[in-house]
Structure 1
Amino acid sequence: MSVAIVGVAECDLGQTGKSVLELQTQAVTRALADAGIPLSEVDGLATNGISRFSATQLADYLGIRPAWSDSTFAGGAVFEMYVARAAQAIEAGQCGTVVISYASNQRTARSRKMTGVFEEGTPEADFEEPYRPLYPISYYAMVAQRYLHTYGLGRADLAEVAVAARAKAQLNPAAWTYGKGPLTVDEVLEAPMISSPLGKLDCCLVTDGGGAIVLTSQSRGVEVLGYGESLTHTGMATAPDLLRTGAVDSGRRAFARAGLTPDEIDVVQLYDSFTISVPLGMEALGFAGAGEGLYADKPHNTGGGGLACCHPGQLGVLLLVEAVRQLRGSGGERQVPNARTALVHGTGGIFSSHATVILGVS
């Protein structure tokens, strides 16, 4: 049995003035309309970010009673994990139509709080809190510093990631930075320093937003070809290797399940919470050699990503939305010609949780 994504949509993005449940409802109903499937047919639901009982609360709000649900929290990687769980549930006959959704109103609420991410009293806190790191940027900055030192690169090299993201967002009318003009390397370098070597423009946006995807066992749509995941560490004190992330293992597992190689992927959507995320991801997933990820020529993050389109606390579901649009050929000015396969990679925590999904169309 093949499982396919048959509907995708975003909710309103930017600064919306709406509640999380309003945004979630927008995303779900728009994705179902895109799929041509009524809400009454949804018998599987995966979501988080609303409360400790996110799936229950959203199901109640929508007026549905799912036979299968998942509200796991694993940071930005979790939506790619949900795809794997949903595909398995559909194949096992637990449900027939699954909606994966997420939304946040963090910009409207003026908050970046993510409860339970890092609590005092954990073993990691004992070693790390005395240095008063900024969570999570100081940890990503440590990785960036190591990367630049190891490969003889500088901040200007890393700034190119932000410049490229802004250029792609100029082709995406939904992007927060759409119409704001191009970004230059000098502007990135002159932006306020937050945690060396990462400045303000090396960091993802803070926006409202979210999205939803609909999966079924129907033959039409964008097929789920493979998936894999990996958990490595919680805090930076326990990271085994700053430059070898769990994407190496999650990607290997996804490629093996799909029966494909990196050369056979047409477009990549990577979680870009900070500029350093992109080169490390491209290298770990096999699209570039060590230290060469900044110059990988594989089309990636075509909508502008978290750096230039939107970042509503967790980005993973929107990476899936963009990948499906590319495979449908509906990317507009940003469309990658003849895209038939896509890899989507989510990252959670500080390179802590990783999940990779490979999609394709025949």
Structure 2
Amino acid sequence: MTAVVTGAYEVPYSRHPDPGCSTGGLLAGAVLGAVRAAGIDLDRVDGLGLSSFTLRPDHAVDLAWRMGLTLRWLVEDPHGGASGINLLMLARRAVEAGDADCIVLVAGDRFGPADFADLVDNYNTATRDHLAPLGFGGPNAAFAQLTTRHARATGLTETDYARIPVAQRRWAGRNPGAVYRDPMTVEDYLAAPVVTTPLRRLDCVPVVSGADAIVVERDADAAGRPRARVRALAGRHNPDQQDGDGLQTGLAHVRDRLWDGAGVGPEDLDLAGVYDDYPVMALIQLADLGCVPGDDLRAFLHDRIDRAGWPLNTSGGQLSAGQAGAAGGMHFLVEAVLQLQGRAGDRQVPDARHALVTGYGMVLYRYGAMANAVVLEAGR
């Protein structure tokens, strides 16, 4: 029995949600949208996976109850940017084991100013007890230090790092759901205010409200409908337990297993959705997975990303589309499924067949504590 992804949907992101907007409402909207996209009725759903920071005090079972779902499988994942692929790992195994036939995975958050401030100060005990009292204010400072370290190690300059947000803004211009769509040049990037040296405002993901969902079913039940096959999954806690330099993620340790399981290599990719809370993290993950030819980051940025327009983060990525809390872990899965189903509109990658999606999440103290990846393949 094989698990496939048959539907994907993103509730439109918003920088300033309406007063009546709620996290539960966003999540429910994403579930219903994904079910419609899959071409099935809601009563087919017998499994639910959830990730959200702001649904509390409610949980996955409360969302299921409010939506009138009767389930055989239920799980909740709190791991931020790694949660989408974590949930897909679990759902794939559940469907293939017969524990459920049709699972919806959903993630999202509604953020007002107070919600985000509370999340930043109480993200985990390390943050609450040691960083918040110092006026930490969120992860920008930590990733500014990491970007400085990466620049010293690689020789990259600010105009090199600029190629990622600038290129992704070009993709965002074709995505009606992206929060920021206006054209951006390298000069625009360099003129943006410095948030914390060397990071500028355009290096940092904009916080938005929204939700994303995908549907995972048995292949045999999806006859005649577009689907994306889940070719390989891999995940790993970062190996150095916050004691290293942060210039490598756990993906470097599962790279061979990922590509061997997928039966393809980096050279076979038609697009990639790489978790981009900051440009440096997109580069680190791509290097860890062997996606940078000859390990030449500068040539990769200028020739492949900028001039050739290699399909990296075709939604515009979080840097332009926005980061809706826990939905950041599901956003790139939704985009990959839309591309593989030929439903990405003006930003459609021609003949897209293989997509890489990564997740990176849970800033434990200095940087993310988890990394994971999946390869999806178009299929009918």
TM-score normalised by structure 2 residue count = 0.87
Asked whether the equivalents of residues 248 and 285 of structure 2 are also in contact (C-alpha less than 8 Å), the reply is no
The letter for the 2-side match of 1:226 is A
Asked whether the equivalents of residues 248 and 284 of structure 1 are also in contact (C-alpha less than 8 Å), the reply is yes
Which protein has the bigger helix share?
2
What is the aligned partner in structure 1 of residue 238 from structure 2?
Answer: 232
Does 2:13 align with 1:13?
Answer: yes
Asked whether the equivalents of residues 90 and 217 of structure 1 are also in contact (C-alpha less than 8 Å), the reply is yes
What is the aligned partner in structure 1 of residue 2 from structure 2?
Answer: 2
Aligned length: 355
Aligned pairs for 1:127-206 (under 5 A) are 133-178=136-181, 181-206=182-207
- Superposed displacement of residue 184, structure 1: 1.9
The letter for the 2-side match of 1:190 is A
How far apart in 2 are the matches of 1:214 and 1:105? 22
**Alpha carbons of structure 1 residues 228 and 112: separation in structure 2 relative to 1, 3 Å:** farther
SS of residue in 1 equivalent to 2:111: coil
How far apart in 2 are the matches of 1:31 and 1:203? 29
What 5-or-longer segments of structure 2 have no aligned partner?
none
Does 2:375 align with 1:358?
Answer: yes
What is the aligned partner in structure 2 of residue 312 from structure 1?
Answer: 324
Does 2:264 align with 1:260?
Answer: yes
What is the aligned partner in structure 2 of residue 80 from structure 1?
Answer: 85
Aligned pairs for 1:70-149 (under 5 A) are 70-107=75-112, 111-114=116-119, 116-120=122-126, 133-149=136-152
More displaced, 69-78 or 26-35? 69-78
What is the aligned partner in structure 2 of residue 271 from structure 1?
Answer: 275
**Alpha carbons of structure 1 residues 113 and 223: separation in structure 2 relative to 1, 3 Å:** farther
How far apart in 2 are the matches of 1:114 and 1:86? 27
The letter for the 1-side match of 2:278 is F
How far apart in 2 are the matches of 1:99 and 1:287? 30
More displaced, 285-294 or 255-264? 285-294
Q: What fraction of aligned residue pairs are identical, expressed as a percent? A: 30
**Alpha carbons of structure 1 residues 239 and 132: separation in structure 2 relative to 1, 3 Å:** farther
More displaced, 51-60 or 261-270? 51-60
What is the aligned partner in structure 2 of residue 337 from structure 1?
Answer: 350
- Superposed displacement of residue 108, structure 1: 7.5
Does 2:300 align with 1:299?
Answer: no
The letter for the 2-side match of 1:212 is A
- 1:264-305 CA-to-partner distances (Å, cap 9, x unmatched) read 221100111112122112111211044515344542100101
**Alpha carbons of structure 1 residues 112 and 169: separation in structure 2 relative to 1, 3 Å:** farther
- Superposed displacement of residue 129, structure 1: 7.3
Asked whether the equivalents of residues 233 and 239 of structure 1 are also in contact (C-alpha less than 8 Å), the reply is no
- Superposed displacement of residue 114, structure 1: 2.6
- Superposed displacement of residue 34, structure 1: 1.0
TM-score normalised by structure 1 residue count = 0.91
- Superposed displacement of residue 257, structure 1: 2.0
**Alpha carbons of structure 1 residues 278 and 80: separation in structure 2 relative to 1, 3 Å:** same
What is the aligned partner in structure 2 of residue 327 from structure 1?
Answer: 340
How far apart in 2 are the matches of 1:336 and 1:42? 30
The letter for the 2-side match of 1:361 is A
The letter for the 2-side match of 1:306 is Q
How far apart in 2 are the matches of 1:65 and 1:326? 31
SS of residue in 2 equivalent to 1:11: strand
What 5-or-longer segments of structure 1 have no aligned partner?
none
